[in-house]
Structure 1
Amino acid sequence: MKKLRLGILASGGGTNLQSIIDGCAAGTLSAEVAIVICNNPGAGALTRAETAGLKTCCINHRDFTRRSDFDSKVVKQLQAANVELVVLAGFMRIISPVFLEAYPQRIINIHPALLPAFPGLHVQQQAIDYGARFSGCTVHLVDAGVDTGPIVLQAVVPVLEDDSAEDLAARILIEEHKIYPQAIQLFAEGRLLIENRRVRILPKTPNRPESSDEPEGND
């Protein structure tokens, strides 16, 4: 099976990046990391990528006056690396039309809440303050909104009575490391069918060739 070429965008420690690196190395993920791009020179994700021998690029967004110029520079690097799927792994930048036009239905993100509940930032504290009994994480395709794209996979964790935001985040992160590689593998196998806002997961059958073609349907 042809390996799906991934472009990982990260801003922080890179634990989700590590789960993807591990999946590729173990052969459970039919993909390869073509490039890791960070907008933060001090990001731990850069160290993880370099340790794994991956191609890296740091493009500091603070060096650009206009968001579109930064985005265009990132897209050029992704295209030069022949990236097929853009994976946001703790990338703390809002995705602009520059990205969406270059990679329609080919940008994926993970969010530490059960969307559509609690989009945005500080979501674990939001869940606790709201009195939610359950939280979790969501893998979704990226659209022009903030955490509003079609949902691919979700995992649920309980919110405990004595939870701090840090406690809840740590339990959610364990599930993130499981479902993010799973969602990427479904994309690699061509098993995601987009019907308006709904993402159907097609069965894996002998008659369905595995490929890295973009999801069927349109959004």
Structure 2
Amino acid sequence: MTKIAVFASGSGSNFGAILQAIERKELDATVELLICDKPNAYVMERARQAGVDSFVFQAKSFSSKEQYERVILEQLQSKNVEWIVLAGYMRLIGTVLLTSYEKRIINIHPSLLPAFAGKDAVGQAIDYGVKVMGVTVHFVDEGMDTGPIISQQSFHVQGDMSRSVIEDQIHFIEHELYPETLQQLFTKKGVHMVNANERMEE
């Protein structure tokens, strides 16, 4: 069983989906720790209700990214965490964690990367007027949503779809695709890298 830590900054819906997949025995993992940079984020309450230990920090309390990442690394090592799973974590990962968890840090992003990286990907896609949108799971590197793609799933945007409907569809895909992809990663030696609009195959 793979020991993971989830990093989140917001409501934690993907954190919740991961926990539910574990409970359904669809994901062979344990969430050893939640790392959060927002003390008032709702994900903290989700962790409390699920009995998951959490570590919360405020970046402004540290002199540098390296300093707070070293503190985080100590927390991860104390729990023997094997993989880092980003789920709405709104900070770039720095050298300390990238080096310690090379090719073992995963992120989910609400667009078909490399299109619409960064903040408000949904808004970017709507403003551009795309007819196909989707979700990407990728390895994390030093850039913003630039790491190698692992899996993607797309859907067609209908003309009458509001932003809230689009976001609901993206969340639905995220909550299925992320646990499925993680399970693939944790149970296979190799990773089937997919092209845009494909799903990772069983």
TM surpasses 0.5: yes
Partner of 2:135: 137
CA RMSD, 1 decimal: 2.0
Q: Which of 174, 180, 205 is residue 178 of structure 2 equivalent to? A: 180
Residue 191 of structure 1: CA displacement? 4.3
User: Helix, strand or coil: the match of 1:137?
Assistant: strand
Give the match for residue 122 of structure 2.
Answer: 124
AA of the residue aligned to 2:87: A
Residue among 14, 17, 25 paired with 1:16: 14
| Cα separation, 1, equivalents of 2:162 and 2:68 | 36
The answer to whether the 8 Å contact 1:14/1:48 transfers is: yes
What secondary structure, in the 3-state scheme, does the structure 1 residue paired with 2:6 have?
A: strand
In structure 2, runs of 5+ residues without a counterpart are none
1:199 CA displacement: 6.3
Q: Compute the TM-score of the two structures, normalised by the length of structure 2.
A: 0.92
Shift of 1:15: 0.3
Deviation at 1:83, TM superposition (A): 0.5
Alignment of 1:80-119 (within 5 A): 80-119=78-117
Q: Is residue 192–residue 202 contact of structure 1 (8 Å, CA) maintained in 2?
A: no
Amino acid in structure 2 at the alignment position of 1:150: P
Maintained 8 Å contact 2:31/2:52: yes
The answer to whether the Cα contact below 8 Å between 2:150 and 2:191 also exists between their aligned partners in 1 is: no
Q: What's 2:153 paired with? A: 155
Q: Which residue identity lines up with residue 136 of structure 1 in the other structure?
A: G
**How far apart are 1:165 and its partner, in Å?**
3.3
2:51 equivalent to 1:56: no
Render the CA deviation track for 1:145-194: whole Å, top value 9, x for unaligned. Answer: 11111111111122232334333222111100000001110111024338
Q: Which 10-residue stretch deviates more, 153-162 or 50-59?
A: 153-162
* Structure 1 stretches of at least 4 aligned residues deviating more than 6 Å after TM superposition: 199-204
Partner AA of 1:63 in structure 2:
S
Mapped partners of 1:118, 1:70: distance in 2: 29
Structure 1 unpaired stretches of 5+ = 205-219
Distance 1:92 1:84 in 2: 21
One-letter identity of the residue aligned with 1:140: H
How many Å apart are 1:202 and its aligned residue? Answer: 9.8
Q: Percent of aligned positions with the same letter in both sequences?
A: 38
> Aligned residue for 2:3?
5
- Pair 1:203–1:181, CA change in 2 (3 A): closer
SS of the aligned residue for 1:192 comes to: coil
Q: Is the 8 A contact 2:185 2:191 kept in 1?
A: no
Contact persistence 1:35–1:55 (CA under 8 A): yes
8 Å contact kept, 1:49–1:56: yes
